[in-house]
A and B are shown apart, each in its own frame.
Chain A
Amino acid sequence: MAVCIAVIAKENYPLYIRSVPIQNELKFHYTVHTSLDVVEEKISAVGKAMADQRELYLGLLYPTEDYKVYGCVTNSKVKFVIVADSSNTSLRDNEIRSMFRKLHNSFTDVMCNPFYNPGDTIQSKAFDSMVSAMMVQAS
C-alpha cells in the first residue's frame, strides 16, 4: 500500500498528488519532485536506445531510509509515482505493477472526460476514490 501517489504532467508539474494525511505532506512533495530526476534520466537513457520498445514501468526509482519510490511513465510522458513505506516488505514488484496499471486506467478515464482539460489538475472523484483505495488506510 502506498503512502503517497502522484501524477506528474509531461512538463513535470503535478497534476495530482496525494499523501497519507497524518504525515508531513510537504516532505512527500519533495520526495516525488526529486524522484523526477531519476525518471528523466531513465526516459532519456531509454529514449536513445529504443523509444518504441520502452516499458512503461520504471521500477524502483531510488530507495531512501524510510521510503521506496516507484515510477511509471506513459507514452505521452505523463509520470506516475508511488511512494511506499520501506518497512512494508510484503509489497512485491507485481503488486506495484498492478497498482500502476490501475492508476493508468483510471487516468485514461479522466482524460476521456470531455470536460477535463488536458494539463489541468485532476479533480475527478472517481480517480480520487481509486487512489484512496490504494493508499495506506490511516487508522
Chain B
Amino acid sequence: MSPTQWDLPPELCCRPMAFVALTGLDVTYNAIHRAIWDAFCANRRADRVPISFKVLPGDHEYPKCRTKRTSYEWYIPKGILKTGWMNKHLNLVPALLVLFYELDWDDAVWKEKQSECATKVEIVRTSLQGRNTKVAVVLIQKKTPLPPGEDLVASERAASLCNACDLSGKSLFVLPHTDHLVGYIIRLENAFYEHAQTYYYTEIRRVKSHKEFLNKTTHQLLFVRHQFKIAFFSELKQDTQNSLKYYRTAYSLVHELRTHETNMLEIKTMAGFINYKICRLCFQHNTPLDAIAQFRKHIDLCKKKIGSAELAFEHTAWMSKQFQSFGDLFDEAIKLGLTAIQTQNPGFYYQQAAYYAQERKQQATHLCAHEASVSYPTPDHLETPSGALDFYGQRAWRQGHQSIDPPHMEKEKGGILALQMKEKDVPHSELIIALLSNAVAQFKKYKCPRMKSHLMVQMGEEYNHAKDYTKALKLLDYVMCDYRTERWWSLLTSILSTALRCSYLMAHIKDYITYSMELVGRASTLREEQKSRIEKNLIKVLMNEVPEAEPDCDQASAKAAQALWSDRMSLAGSNEFTIEVQDYVPFVQCKAKFLSPSFHVDDPVQLHVYLRADCPHPVRFSKLCVSLSNQEYNQLCVVEEPCKSQDILEASSQENMCLVPGKTRIYSFKFVAKTEDVGKKIEITAVDLMLGSDNGRCVFLNWRGGGGDAASSHEALLAARSFKSRGRVPEQHVEWDTVSIQASTMIISRIPKISVQLSHEPPALNNEMYRITVSIQSNEETVTKDVKLTAGLKPGQDANLTQSTHVTLNGLEMCDESHPALLPDIAIGDLQPGEKVEKCLYVRCVTTGARIFLFHVAYALSTKVEGKDITCRCHKDETVTIETVVPFEVAVKFVSTKFEHLDRVYVDIPFLLMTDILSASPWPLHLVTSQLQLAPTMAAMDQPQSQVEHVVLQTGECASECFSLQCPPVLNGTSSVASGQYLISWKRKSWCADAPVVTTVTTLPHVMVETIPLYVHAELPSFGRVRESMPVRYHIQNRTGLVQDVEMSVEPSDAFMFSGLKQVRLRILPGAEQEMLYNFYPLMAGYQNLPQLNISLLRFPAVSGQLLRRFLPSRIFVKVHLQCLAKARFVQYTTDCCPMDRVSHLSCRSLQFIQSDHGPLGCISDQSSPCMS
C-alpha cells in the first residue's frame, strides 16, 4: 500500500542519529577511498556510535540558511512545524563535515598540497555559510605515523596546515592507510561523534535563546515548534532523557493552543507526532506503563476534537492511525524483550484501530454519498505548487492561514468536496481487515481464544461487506463451532445469518442448506417468522427452485445471486448432497436405540429411531435408513416412500413420513440376527434421513452412530437433572429428552435349557485319580444335537496349574504328563428331550492348592424365530473349585536297638528305622502296601516286610512301621549317606477295587555313618531269677587294623554277685574278638542295673567307656525265685486279709523281701501266670 495521508512520516518514526557528511572521498574510482567508506558504513552494530554517514561531493550545496531574525515582534508564525524540518536535520544539514585529503607529512610538494587543502576547506565553509556545522580534515597517509612528539616535521607541518585551513588542532586527523583501518576508523568516528554532540548542543542553545523574544499571544505556535526542535536535537544528541522532557512540554503546549475548526487538523497532527515520540521514548526507556498512560491521556484529550463535521471520517482515520501506531510501537517493544499480558497487549490497540477504521468507513459512506452528477472539483484544491504542504496538518488550499474563519468559502467547499471524493476511493475494508488480522495474531499469542473468535467474526463480516464471500465463509465457518460448543446461541445465530447471506449470494447450495437447517433449528434465536421464511426457502431449494433473497442484501448483489441460482438450477447433476449433521444443531433431531443392550439369537433384534423436527412448519422426508456395522441388516432398516416433489409443502400430519414440529415420531425396526453374529456387537454406524426427492434435489442428513448433535448431550444432561423427568408421562407420549441413545447391542447365544450337575467328593487328594461325575440332562423340547462336553481345568489360571493337572476319562490307569489339563469337545451325541447322560472324569492333581474346573456343554438346536428356521448353538458352563490336599504325612526317624534316638549310626551296628504315616485326608484311606527301597549304603538285617499292609486309616490316625537296618563300612571315619526311599501304595477306601493304586514315594533322610574302633555287645538271657546264676558273655571286637590294648573292669553292684575277671587288661588282635564270660548272681528282683562294665582303650582315648556302654544293656529284669514266689503269694494274701499278728510267724527274711519288692509283684503275677496255671 502506498503511504496515505495518515501514515506517520518516516523521518518521525526513525531513530534520529547524528548526521556526519564526508567529502573528498572518491568511492567509485579510488580503491583506498572505497575501503575507508566501507569501514565507515559496514557492520554498524549497536556497539558503534550512532552516526549516519553520507559521502557528499566537495562542492555539494547545503540548504541555505535564512538570515537570522533579530526580533520576533512583527512575526506571525504560519504553522507549527515545517514538513521539511526533520528531514533537513536528519539528512541534509550535517553536524560535522569531514574533508578527506591525501597528504603525507613528507610530501614532496607539501606547500602546494597544503594550499589546495586550504582551498577545499574554504569551499566547504562557504557552502555552509551561516550554519554552525563544524569542519574537520582527515589526512589519508600512506605511512604509519611515528608516536606523537617524535616526528618534528609532522608536528610542525600539522600546525602550519591548521593555520592555513583555519582549523583547531582537534579538528585535524590523520588516517594512515595501513592494516588496522577499522581500528583507526572507530577511533575517528568516536572523535566525530564528540564534534557532532557539540554541534547539537549549540543548536539547542540557539533555539532556546529565541524563547525570550516570544510573547504568549502571537507566538503560541512557536512555543510548540521550539520545544519540538529542542527535543529533536536532544534526540540527535542521543540525550533521550532530556528529549523526553522537552517532548512532554511540547505536548502540553500543543494542547494549550487555541483550537478551532481550521487548525484542528494541524493540532491533532502535531499532537499525534509528539505523542508518538513520547511513547516511543518511554518504551525505549523500558517504562511501558508511562507509554500506556501517555497514550491514554492523548486519546482522552483528542477523542472529542473531531473538527469539521463534514470531514468527520478524517478524525476517525486519525484515531485509527493513533491506535495502530501505538500498537506497532508496543509490538516492537515486545520484540525487543518487553513482556505483555493478557489484558494489556498490542491486540487491544489494533482492535480499537480496527473499530475506528470501521467507524471511518461508516462515516465515509454517509458523508461521501454524493450524487453521480457531482464530479471532482476543478481546479484541484488539493494541489499545491510544490506538490507537498509547507506545514504538517494544514489544508492545501489555505496554507499558513491561522485565523479562525476560512478565508475563501468557495475554496473551502471545493477542498472539502475534493477530500470527500478521495475518501470514496479508500479501500476501507482492506484496512479494517489488515488491522483485525493484526489483532487476531496478538490475541492468539496472549491466550484470548474468544476475543480471537470475535475478531474473526468481524473479519468475516468485513469480507462480506467487501463482497469476498468465499473468504468470509471460510472465516465464519472456522469460528462457528467454537460458539456452538460454548452454546452461545445468540452469537451463533448472528454468525449463521451472515453466513447464510454469503452462501446465498454465492449460490452455494450445500452451505445454504446447512446454514438454513441450523437457523430453523432449536439453537437459533431467530423469531418465528424469520424461521418460517428460511424454512420456506429451504423447501424451495429442495424442490430445485430459486430461493428468495436474504434481507439486507443490496439490490445489485441480490440480482447477481438470482442469476447464479438460476444457472445452478438449470445444471443437471450434483443434486444429491450428504450433510453430516452431527456437529451442527440441525432442525431435525434424531436418536436411535436398540431396545436392549443385548439380544438372544433366537429373539428378534429391535431398534427404534426417534425423529423430531424443531422447525416452524411440518417437514416431510422420503427415506429413512439405518446403517449397521453388519451391512447385511441395512436393507431391513429402511423406511421409504417415494413422494412427488410438489407434495413437500402439503404434508399432512397423518402421514408416516411427515415430521410435525415438536412431536416425536418413532420408527421401529425388527430383524433376526444371523447365527454367525453370536458373540458379536452390532452397532449403528449411521442414520440417514433423505429430504427432498430424486427428481428435485435430495439431501441426506447423516448422523454418525446413534444420532445426537452438537447440543444434544448437554440437553440430555439437563434433562437427567430436571425435576420434570421424575413425573409420569402418558404411555403413548414419548418425552424426547428422556430418550437415550443406545447405538450398539450384543448378540448373545440362546439360553440353554440343559442341566449340568457335578458329583464328587472333595477335596481331591494329591496324586490320586479324582473322580468327578458329570450328569447332563436335556430339558429342551426338541432333540439337542451334537452335544459336546469340554471339561477340565478352566483356562486362564496360573500356568503352573496346567502343568500339574491332568485329566482323563479312563479311570483304570494312572495318567501321566502326556494327558492334557483340559479335554475339549468330548462327543456325547444327541440327546432326546429329558434324556440324561453321565460321564466320569478323572483328574490327577500333582500339586496341592485350589483349582477351578470348567464343564462346558455345547449343543446345536433348530428353532423358529419370526417364521425363520435357524440353527442356534447353545452352551452351558458349570464351574467348580476343587481343593487338593496331601493324603497323609510321613515322618521317619532313626533309633537304636534300644529305641533311643540316634543322630548318627555306626558301621555294622544294627539300628532301627521307624516310619509314621499320619492320615490328613477327610476320607478313610486304604494303605495297600508299603515298601522300603534301600540305598546301597544301607542293608536290611532281615527281609523287610510291610507291616501296614491293608491297614485302613481314618482321619487323624497314624500307622507306624519299624525296620532293622545296618550300615556297611564306609571309607573314611564319618560320612552322610543316603538311606533310600519309602513307597506307600494307597487308595481311597470308598472306591472300588479296580481303581488304580496310588504310589506315594517318600525319600528317606540322609544319615551320618561313623566307624567305631571297638564294638562291644553282650549276650545275656532275657531275664534273670533271684539267686539263680545267669551267664553273661561280653564280646569285644577290634574293628581296627591295629592291636588294641583294652582295660576292662566290672564295678560291684548291690543287686548282683558275680564271678569272672573283675579287672583285666588284655590285648586284642586286629579283627579278632575277645569273649569275656561272667556269671551274675542276682540278689534282688525287679529291674536291676547290671554291674557296670568299664572299658577304656589305651590307643583311642576318644572312645570313652560311655560310648561303648550304649551298645550294652544296662538293666535286666530279675524274676523272683520260684519257691520264694509261692511264699510271696501267701504273704500277699495274709497281708490283705488277716490281722498283722497272724503273720508274725513268717520268716523274717521272706518278709523283708516282700516289703522291698512290693512294687513289681503284680507285674510278676501277670507275666508268670502261664507258669502258675
Mark A residues whose CB is within 8 Å of B. 11-14, 17, 25-26, 29-30, 33-34, 36-38, 41, 61-62, 64-65, 114-115, 117-120
Contacts and interface: CB of A to CB of B under 8 A. Distances in A.
Contacts of A120: 718
A133 B494 CA distance: 29
Contacts of B448: 34, 37-38
Contact of A37 (B451, B490, B714, B722): B451
Given A12-B486, A65-B355, A26 B718 contact: no
Given A17-B490, A34-B454, 9 more contacts: A33-B454, A33-B486, A33-B488, A34-B450, A37-B449, A41-B342, A64-B352, A115-B723, A120-B718
Interface in B478-496: 486-488, 490-491, 494
Given A37-B451, A62-B348, A119 B490 contact: no
B487 A117 contact: no
A26 B488 CA distance: 11
A29 B447 contact: no
A36 B450 contact: yes
A124 to B, nearest CB: 16
A29 B488 CA distance: 9
Contacts of A11: 486-487, 714
Q: Which 6 A-B pairs have the closest CB atoms?
A: A13-B487, A37-B448, A34-B451, A62-B343, A117-B722, A119-B718
B718 to A, nearest CB: 5
A29 B721 contact: no
A12 B447 CA distance: 16
Contact of B718 (A14, A38, A61, A117): A117
Contacts of A30: 454, 457, 491
B717 interface: yes
Nearest to A17: B490
Interface residues of B, number: 26
Contacts of B490: 14, 17, 25-26, 29
7 contacts: A11-B486, A12-B486, A30-B454, A30-B457, A37-B450, A62-B348, A119-B717
A108 to B, nearest CB: 18
A96 to B, nearest CB: 17
A36 B486 CA distance: 11
A59 B724 CA distance: 38
**What is the predominant secondary structure among interface residues of chain A facing chain B?**
mixed
Nearest to A39: B450
Contacts, number: 64
**What is the predominant secondary structure among interface residues of chain B facing chain A?**
helix
A11 B882 CA distance: 56
A14 B488 contact: yes
Contacts of A41: 342, 447
A117 B721 contact: yes
A25 B493 CA distance: 13
B343 to A, nearest CB: 5
A33 B348 contact: no
A5 B739 CA distance: 35
A29 B490 CA distance: 8
Contacts of B491: 26, 29-30, 33
Interface of B: 299, 342-343, 348, 352, 355, 447-451, 454, 457, 486-488, 490-491, 494, 714, 717-718, 721-724
B134 to A, nearest CB: 50
A25 B491 CA distance: 10
A35 B843 CA distance: 75
A30 B486 CA distance: 13
B775 to A, nearest CB: 59
Contacts of B457: 30
Contact of A13 (B299, B447, B486, B724): B486
Contacts of A36: 450
A62 B449 CA distance: 15
Task: Report which residue of B342, B487, B722, B724 has the largest number of chain A beta carbons within 10 angstroms of its beta carbon.
Answer: B342
Contacts of A115: 723
A12 B482 CA distance: 11
Task: Report which residue of A13, A25, A64, A120 has the largest number of chain B beta carbons within 10 angstroms of its beta carbon.
Answer: A13
Contact of B343 (A13, A17, A38, A117): A38
Given A115-B723, A117-B721, A38 B342 contact: yes
Contacts of B451: 34, 37
A14 B491 CA distance: 11
Given A11-B487, A37-B450, A117 B723 contact: yes
Task: Report which residue of A14, A26, A33, A36 has the largest number of chain B beta carbons within 10 angstroms of its beta carbon.
Answer: A33
A61 to B, nearest CB: 7
A34 B491 CA distance: 12
A77 B724 CA distance: 25
A14 B724 CA distance: 22
Nearest to A118: B721
Contacts of B342: 37-38, 41
Contacts of B454: 30, 33-34
Nearest to A35: B450
B343 A61 contact: yes
A77 B355 CA distance: 32
A114 B488 CA distance: 26
Nearest to A28: B490
Nearest to B455: A34
Given A34-B450, A37-B342, A62-B343, A114 B486 contact: no
A120 B299 CA distance: 43
Contacts of B487: 11-14
B488 A119 contact: no
A114 B726 CA distance: 13
A29 to B, nearest CB: 5
A37 B447 contact: yes
A31 to B, nearest CB: 9
A13 B450 contact: no
A5 to B, nearest CB: 15
